[in-house]
A and B are shown apart, each in its own frame.
Chain A
Amino acid sequence: MIVLMIASLSSCKKDAVPETNDEEVITTMKLTFVPVGGSASFTYQFDDSDGPGGNAPMQDSIVLSSSTSYVVTLQLLNKTTNPVTDLTTEIQTESDAHRFYYEPSVGSNLTVSQLDNDDNGVPLGINGTWSASTAATGTIKITLRHYPGTPPGKETSDPVNSTKSATDVEVIFNTIVQ
C-alpha cells in the first residue's frame, strides 16, 4: 500500500478542467412586445451575459406608446453556454412549479393581464398583455418564483413572497409611457 501511495503521488498532477457550464445560471431576460393592431414588434432586455458577479448587467428602459396594448412574450436565456440555452422551454415543462409575477409601480400607468396558465389552470406568466394608458414614468418588477416542494403546491392565491416558493429571477425595469 505504501508503494502504491508513493507511486500515486507522482502521478496525481492533473490538468485544470475548464469550468463546465452551470445549467442553472440565468443571464438574460428578454421581453418581446407585439403591439395589438399590427405595427412592428420590438424587444427590451436585462442582460448579465457573464452571469452573477464579473461585469455589471446591462438593462434597457421599457418605452411604450400611450393608449396601446401589447402581447408580451418573456424569454430567459443562459448566455454562458455555447450555443446559448433558452430556459423558457424548461420552465414551460415544469410549469406547475414556476410562476412569473408582474408588478407595475403605482403611477406607471401600466397594467398586465391575461397571463397564460399552467396545466392546472394556475397563472404561469410566460405570455401576457400589457396595456399602457396615459404618459407616465415608473417601474415594473418581474419576478420568477420557483416552488421546490414535492408536490409544489402552487395555487392562484399565492402572493409573490409566498414561503412556498423562492426567487429565481427578480428584475426591476424603468418604464416610460409616452
Chain B
Amino acid sequence: MKILSVFILVLFFAFSGFSQSCQIRLSGHIEDADTKEKLQVATVRISELNMVIVTDTKGDFVFPDLCKGNYTLVVTHVNCDPVEQKIILEKDYHTDIVLPHSRKVLGDVVIEAQKGIPNSGFKKQLSGRSIDETRGMSLAEALSKLNGVTMLQNGSNVSKPVIHGLHGSRILTINNGVRQEGQQWGNEHAPEIDPFIAEKLEVIKGVDELRYGSDAIGGVVLVEPRALISKPGHHLEFNSAFFTNNRQFVLSALFEQQLKKQPAFRYRIQGTYKKGANVSTPEYRLNNTGNEEKNYSLTLGWKKQQWNTELFHSHFETTVGIFPGSHIGNISDLLSAIEAPKPSDVFLGQQAYRIGRPSQKVNHDLFKSKTVFFTNQHKFSLLLAGQFNQRKEFDVVRNAANTNPQLDLNISTYTEDLSLELPKKKNLTGTAGISAVQQFNDYRGRYFIPNYQSNAVGAYFIEKWSKHDWEWQAGIRYDHKGINTTRLKSNGDTINNQFQFSTFAGSFNVMYKPVDECKINMNLSLSSRAPYVNELLCDGIHHGTATYEKGDVGLKPERSLSLNTGAHFVHHDSWLELDFLAYVNVIRNFIYQQPMPDNPVLTIAGAFPLMSYQQTDALLSGFDFTAKCSLSKNVDLNTKLSYLDARNTKTNDWLVLMPANRISNEFVYLLKKNKKIQDGYLSLECMNVMQQKNIPGSMNGKQDYKVPPPAYFLLNVNSSVAFLVHKNRVTIGFSVRNLLNRSYRDYMNTMRYFTDEMGRNVCIRLKCQL
C-alpha cells in the first residue's frame, strides 16, 4: 500500500502539460439555501478578471469565452450572505451555488439534502452564531446544541457526544478529513480535538457515511476547518472567553496569509490555551476538577491550476482533574456514595487551578497531507495521515511520592485514502475510493486492553442521480480488518489472539421536493461494525462503576439496519420553518455489557459484580422535531424536541444509559442592524430534561444501582453583538448557563452517583477579526 501511494503520487506529478484556450463557458445557477428559491438579480463576480454578471429570472448566469485558469466567484444577493467559490476551469463548466439566507445565521439545525455529493443525506450543522456560542466549551458540549445529540459525561471536564443514543466506537469523528483514532472505546475518554479548529461542526447520516467507514452505526461527526485564505493578504482572528463558575479562561488565535509574490502558497497557524479551576455546584465546590488544554495547529497550502496540496499538523494536549470523592474501591463504596446526599466535606471547598490525582493526561498529534489532482474533470484526492495518541490515567495511589500513571496507553494510526470523483454525466455523478489503516497499540502499567496491531482495507462507491424535484443516491462499502493481539504477562506467559472481520455497508437515499417550500428525505442504511479490542479482550476492574469487565473473543460484528425519514418545510416568507426526523435503527448482535449476578469476581477488595460483553438485538427508535417561528419582526421562537426509545429485544427490556427525552424553547430577540451594529441578539432558552424511566429491570442482573435522577429544568441566556471598529469586526458575547443556579444531576453523567452538576456559569466572550 505504501509503495502504491508513492507511485500514485509520482504519477500525478507527471501530469503537468496544459495549453491555453479562451473559449470556455462557465455557467451556473443560484438558489437560496433555505427556501430553494431561484435567486434572480444576484451579482456574480469573477474577482481575478473583475467581470460582473447578474442572474436572470431563473437564477442562471453564463460567462462565455473564458480562458483556462483558477477563478474566484463571488456571489452576492440582497437577502443573503455572500458566498465565494473557487473554480479551476479547464473545460465548459456548470456550477450550482446555494446562498445562505442571512437570517439563517440564527438557525443551528438544518436537515437537508443539498445539491452535490458532499452534503447529501441527513445533516445537522453548527456554524455561525451557534458555534460562536459554544466557544470555550468541549467538542461534545458544542455538539449537544444539536437536536438529537446529547453527551455522555464523567464530570464536567470529560464528555463525549451521543447521537440518537449511540456513542463511542459507533460514531465516527472526522477531524479535518481524517478519521479520528484514539482510545474512543472508553466512556471516560473524550474526543481529542480542539473545537477552535472548526468553523463548522456537522453530524451526518446517510450515504456519505460510507466515505469514512462501514461502521458508522450512530452517525458521523465532521469537524470542518474553514478553507485557507483565498486572496492575497492576511487574516487574523482572536477569540477569548472567561467563565465565572470555575474561573476558566480560554485564549485562541489564528493567523493566515497568502503571499502576494507567491500566491500559490498559503498558510495558517492556530493555537488555543485553556485553563479552568475547580468547578462549583450551587451548594459546594468540587476539589480537583480543574482542566488545562494546550493545542496548536499548522496548515500549509499550495495551489496550482491542476493540483493543490495541503499539509496539516495539529497537537492536542489536555490534563483533566477527576473529583476525588468519586474514588470508589468496590460495590459497597458505590452503595454508600449513593446513600449520601452530598460528598464528604474533605473533597469540597478548594478554589484552585492545581490538578492532583486522580487525573487524566492525553496527547494527540495528527499529521496529514491531502493532495487533489484534476484531470479531464476527474478529481483525485490522496490523503495520508498519521495519528499518535497517548493516554495516561493517574489513580489515587497509596504512596504520595509515586508519579507514575496507573494506566498508560499509546496508539499510533496511519491512514491512506485515495478517492476519485467522476464528472457529471446525464444527471449522474459518482465517487469511488479505497482506504487503508494500520494501527499499533501498546500499554504499560495496569492491564485493561492488550497490545495489538491491526490492518484494515476498504473500498467504496457512491453514485448520485438528480433531476428536477428528485435526487437519488446509493452507495456501498466493504472493509476488512485483521487484528493481532499480544498480552505478555509479568510471569512470562503470553496470550495471543488473532481476529479477522469483514464488514459491509450500503446506503440508499431518496429526496423529493414536491414544492419549493417542502422537502422529503428518506434513507435506508446498512452498517456493520467489527468488535473493538476492548470488547474482545478487556479484563479488569472498571473503577468508575465498581464492576469487573470481561471481554469475549467470540464476538461477531454488529449489523445495523436503519431507516431515517425527514421532512423539512419553510414558509415562503420564511416566518416558519419546521423540521422533522424520525428514525428506526435495528441492530443485530448489538454488543453490550451483561451483568452476571451468579459469577461475582472475588478480589482482595471484595466481590465485584461481573459484567460480560455479550451480544443481543437492539431496537432504537425516536424522532427529533425542530420548529422556528417568527413571533414578530424581532422575536423568534425556536423549539427543539427529541424522543428516544431503546430496547433490548432479546430480553424484552430497556437498554441502560440512554439519554432522557427533552424539549427546549428559545426566545430570540434580534437587534436592529444599523451602521454601527452589524448583528446582535439576546436569547432565553428554557430546557426541560425528563427523568429517564425506561431503564432495565434487575431480573437479568443489576445494570445500575441508582434510580435515574429526577427531571430538571434549566434557564440559559445567550447574547452577542457584533460591530465594526476601524473596519474590523468585533463580536462581544455574554451568556449564562443555569441562570437559576438549580441543583440537578444528569443520568448520562457518571458523577450522578456522587455530585450535583455545575451551578450558574456566566461567560463573556470576545472575538476580533482583523
B195 to chain A, nearest CB (A): 25
Q: By the criterion CB–CB under 8 Å, are A170 and B398 in contact?
A: no
Interface of A is mostly: loop
**Residues on the A chain within 8 Å of B451, using CB:** 16-17
- The contact of B332 among A2, A97, A167, by CB within 8 Å, is A167
Q: Which of B323-331, B656-664, B703-711 contacts A (4 or more CB under 8 A)?
A: B323-331
Q: By the criterion CB–CB under 8 Å, are A167 and B324 in contact?
A: no
> Which 3 pairs show the lowest CB-CB distances between chains A and B?
A167-B329, A153-B346, A149-B346
A105 to chain B, nearest CB (A): 16
Q: By the criterion CB–CB under 8 Å, are B398 and A87 in contact?
A: yes
Q: How far is the CA of A162 from the CA of B329 in the complex (A)?
A: 12
Q: By the criterion CB–CB under 8 Å, are A24 and B446 in contact?
A: yes
10 A–B contacts from the bound complex (CB under 8 Å): A2-B384, A5-B385, A9-B438, A16-B486, A24-B397, A53-B548, A80-B491, A97-B398, A146-B396, A164-B344
Q: By the criterion CB–CB under 8 Å, are A17 and B444 in contact?
A: yes
**Residues on the A chain within 8 Å of B346, using CB:** 147, 149, 151-153, 164
Q: By the criterion CB–CB under 8 Å, are B604 and A29 in contact?
A: yes
B447 to chain A, nearest CB (A): 6
**Residues on the B chain within 8 Å of A60, using CB:** none
Interface 0/1 of A51-65, CB less than 8 Å to B: 111001100000000
Q: Which of B1-9, B95-103, B120-128 contacts A (4 or more CB under 8 A)?
A: B1-9
A-B pair count, CB < 8 Å, reads: 176
Residue in B closest to A163 when the chains form the complex, CB atoms: B344
In this complex, the member of A8, A24, A90, A163 whose beta carbon has the largest number of chain B beta carbons within 10 angstroms is: A163
Q: Does A71 contact B (CB under 8 A)?
A: no
Q: Does A168 contact B (CB under 8 A)?
A: yes
Q: How far is the CA of A163 from the CA of B333 in the complex (A)?
A: 8
Q: Does B440 contact A (CB under 8 A)?
A: yes
Chain A: residues with Cβ within 8 Å of the partner, total of 59
Residue in A closest to B5 when the chains form the complex, CB atoms: A6
Scan residues 513-549 of chain B and give those whose CB is less than 8 A from a CB of chain A.
Answer: 539-541, 548
Scan residues 139-162 of chain A and give those whose CB is less than 8 A from a CB of chain B.
Answer: 146-153, 161-162
Q: By the criterion CB–CB under 8 Å, are A170 and B606 in contact?
A: yes
Q: How far is the CA of A59 from the CA of B489 in the complex (A)?
A: 24
Q: Does B105 contact A (CB under 8 A)?
A: no
Residue in A closest to B3 when the chains form the complex, CB atoms: A6
Q: How far is the CA of A17 from the CA of B442 in the complex (A)?
A: 7
Q: By the criterion CB–CB under 8 Å, are A52 and B369 in contact?
A: no
Interface 0/1 of A161-175, CB less than 8 Å to B: 111101111110000
Q: By the criterion CB–CB under 8 Å, are A22 and B445 in contact?
A: yes
Q: A6-B2, A151-B346, A169-B605 are in contact. Are A12 and B440 (CB under 8 A)?
A: yes
Chain B: residues with Cβ within 8 Å of the partner, total of 72
Q: A148-B396, A166-B327, A166-B396 are in contact. Are A20 and B604 (CB under 8 A)?
A: no
Q: How far is the CA of A143 from the CA of B539 in the complex (A)?
A: 25
Q: By the criterion CB–CB under 8 Å, are B488 and A153 in contact?
A: no
Residue in A closest to B453 when the chains form the complex, CB atoms: A13
Q: Does B238 contact A (CB under 8 A)?
A: no
Q: By the criterion CB–CB under 8 Å, are B367 and A17 in contact?
A: no
B701 to chain A, nearest CB (A): 18
Q: By the criterion CB–CB under 8 Å, are B487 and A19 in contact?
A: yes
Q: How far is the CA of A163 from the CA of B338 in the complex (A)?
A: 10
**Residues on the B chain within 8 Å of A5, using CB:** 367, 369, 384-386, 414
Q: By the criterion CB–CB under 8 Å, are A94 and B487 in contact?
A: no
Q: How far is the CA of A28 from the CA of B325 in the complex (A)?
A: 27
Scan residues 322-370 of chain B and give those whose CB is less than 8 A from a CB of chain A.
Answer: 324-325, 327-330, 332-333, 336-337, 340, 343-347, 356-358, 367, 369
Residue in B closest to A47 when the chains form the complex, CB atoms: B604
**Residues on the B chain within 8 Å of A153, using CB:** 344-346
- The contact of B347 among A10, A29, A149, by CB within 8 Å, is A149
**Residues on the B chain within 8 Å of A161, using CB:** 332-333, 336
Interface 0/1 of B593-635, CB less than 8 Å to A: 0000000011111101000000000000000000000000000
